[in-house]
C-alpha cells in the first residue's frame, strides 16, 4: 500500500483485523476510549475485547479519528450496525474521494433497513463502499490461526487494494463483486446463530441444529437472490462458511445469546451481562422487514425476531416452525438462480 490502512472501531473484530494487518502494512486503529487506544499502542493488548491475546507491536491506536484517517489508502469500518452511521458522519469529511470504505459489520440498520454498504454510500458519497465478511471468529484471527475471508465491492480495484493489504500466510483473502449477497449472508447468519443457540438452550441436539442451519441457508438464499445477489455466494465463505462458524462455535456471541434465551433468561439481562454486541439481536427485526418488503418468507428469522421483540417464547416459536405445511425442499427461485447464475 502507498498509504496506511485505517480501522475504525477497536472491538474484538476491529482489533483482530488491525493487528493482523499491522504485520504487513502501516495500520492505525481508532478507539472511542483513550484508555483502550493507549493500551493497544503501548502494551500491545486490548484486555477488554481480546483478553489474553498479544497484538502486533506495529499497530498504532488513537482516540483521535482524524489521526487514524490521516494518509489512509483504505478504511475498514468495524463499528456495530446501530452505531455505524454516527461514526461515518464524523469520518466523512476526512475521507478522500475514491477511498475504499469497507464495512466489517454484519447487520441491517434499524429504521432504514439499509445494508452497511448502503449506509456508507449515503453518508460518505465520495468513497467506494464494500464489505469484508466470512467465517472469522476474532480471537482465532488475532492468534494467527489459518482463516479466509472475502472482500466484496462493485469496484474491483478497490477490493484488490484491501485484498493485498490483508492477504497473508494466515489469512486467504478472496474478492467478489456481489456486495448484496455477501451482506445479506452476513446479516442473516447472525440471526440464524441465535436460532441455533436457542435450540441448544432448549436441550436439543445436532439433528435440530443441522436442520436449522440448512433451512436457514435456504432463507438466506431466497432473500439474497430476491435482492439481486448471486446464488453461489451463499455456498461460499460469506454464506455457508460463516453460517457454520457462527452456529457451531461457543465463541459466537449470537449463539451465546440464543442459548441463554433458550434456557429461559431475560434478553435485557443477557445483553447487560455482555460487553460485546451480538448483531443478530438488533438485525432480526430489520432483516424480517426487508424480507417482507421483497415478498420473501423467512420463518426461522421471523421466529427469532418475534422472540427478541418479546412477542413469543422460544418453545412457542419452535412449535410454530414445526407446524408449517409440508413442501418441496428446493425453492424454484434458488434452483433458477443456480442454473442461470
Q: What is the pLDDT of residues 84-129, one digit of tens each?
A: 999 999 999 999 999 999 999 999 999 999 999 999 999 999 999 9
In degrees and rounded to multiples of 5, residue 284 shows phi and psi of -55, -50
The 3 state secondary structure assigned to 211-242 is HHHHHHHHHHHHHHHHCCCCHHHHHCHHHHHH
The mean per-residue pLDDT over the stretch 225-254 comes to: 95
* Average pLDDT in the chain: 94
Alpha carbons 184 and 207: distance in angstroms, whole number = 25
Helices and strands per DSSP (H, E), number in the chain? 16, 8
**Among 48, 106, 164, 189, which one carries the catalytic annotation?**
189
pLDDT score of 332: 67
| Beta strands 128-133 and 100-103, pairing class | parallel
Alpha carbons 117 and 178: distance in angstroms, whole number = 12
Q: Please determine, for residue 215, whether its predicted confidence score (pLDDT) is greater than 90.
A: yes
Are the CB atoms for 223 and 184 separated by under 8 Å? yes
Q: Is 106 marked active-site?
A: no
pLDDT score of 145: 96
Alpha carbons 44 and 40: distance in angstroms, whole number = 4
**Per-residue model confidence as pLDDT tens digits over 285-341:** 999 999 999 999 999 999 999 999 999 999 999 989 999 999 888 776 665 555 444
DSSP states along 161-178? HHHHHH--SSEEEEEES-
pTM exceeds 0.85 for this model: yes
Amino acid at each position: 500500500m502507498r498509504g496506511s490502512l485505517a480501522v475504525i472501531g477497536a472491538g474484538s473484530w476491529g482489533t483482530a483485523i488491525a493487528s493482523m494487518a499491522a504485520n504487513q502494512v502501516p495500520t492505525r486503529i481508532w478507539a472511542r476510549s483513550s484508555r483502550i487506544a493507549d493500551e493497544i499502542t503501548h502494551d500491545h493488548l486490548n484486555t477488554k475485547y481480546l483478553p489474553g491475546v498479544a497484538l502486533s507491536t506495529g499497530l498504532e491506536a488513537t482516540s483521535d479519528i482524524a489521526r487514524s484517517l490521516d494518509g489512509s489508502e483504505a478504511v475498514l469500518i468495524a463499528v456495530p450496525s446501530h452505531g455505524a452511521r454516527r461514526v461515518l458522519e464524523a469520518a466523512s469529511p476526512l475521507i478522500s474521494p475514491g477511498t475504499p470504505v469497507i464495512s466489517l459489520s454484519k447487520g441491517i440498520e434499524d429504521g432504514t433497513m439499509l445494508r452497511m454498504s448502503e449506509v456508507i454510500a449515503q453518508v460518505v458519497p465520495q468513497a467506494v463502499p464494500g464489505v469484508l465478511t466470512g467465517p472469522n471468529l476474532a480471537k482465532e484471527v488475532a492468534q494467527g490461526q489459518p482463516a479466509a475471508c472475502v472482500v466484496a465491492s462493485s469496484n474491483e480495484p478497490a477490493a484488490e487494494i484491501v485484498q493485498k493489504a490483508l492477504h497473508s500466510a494466515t489469512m486467504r483473502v478472496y474478492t467478489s463483486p456481489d456486495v448484496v449477497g455477501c451482506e445479506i449472508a452476513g446479516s442473516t447468519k447472525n440471526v440464524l446463530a441465535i436460532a441455533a443457540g436457542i435450540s441448544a438452550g432448549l436441550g436439543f441436539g445436532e439433528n435440530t441444529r443441522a436442520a436449522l442451519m440448512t433451512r436457514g441457508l435456504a432463507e438466506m438464499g431466497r432473500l439474497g437472490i430476491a435482492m439481486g445477489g448471486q446464488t453461489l455466494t451463499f455456498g461460499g465463505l460469506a454464506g455457508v462458511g460463516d453460517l457454520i462458524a457462527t452456529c457451531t462455535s461457543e465463541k459466537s456471541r449470537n449463539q451465546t445469546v440464543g442459548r441463554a434465551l433458550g434456557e429461559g433468561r431475560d434478553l435485557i439481562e443477557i445483553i447487560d451481562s455482555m460487553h460485546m454486541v451480538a448483531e443478530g439481536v438488533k438485525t432480526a427485526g430489520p432483516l424480517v422487514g426487508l424480507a417482507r418488503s421483497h415478498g420473501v418468507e423467512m420463518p426461522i428469522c421471523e421466529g427469532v425476531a418475534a422472540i427478541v421483540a418479546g412477542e413469543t417464547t422460544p418453545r412457542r416459536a419452535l412449535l410454530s416452525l414445526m407446524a408449517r405445511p409440508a413442501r418441496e425442499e428446493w425453492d424454484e427461485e434458488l434452483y433458477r438462480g443456480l442454473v442461470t447464475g
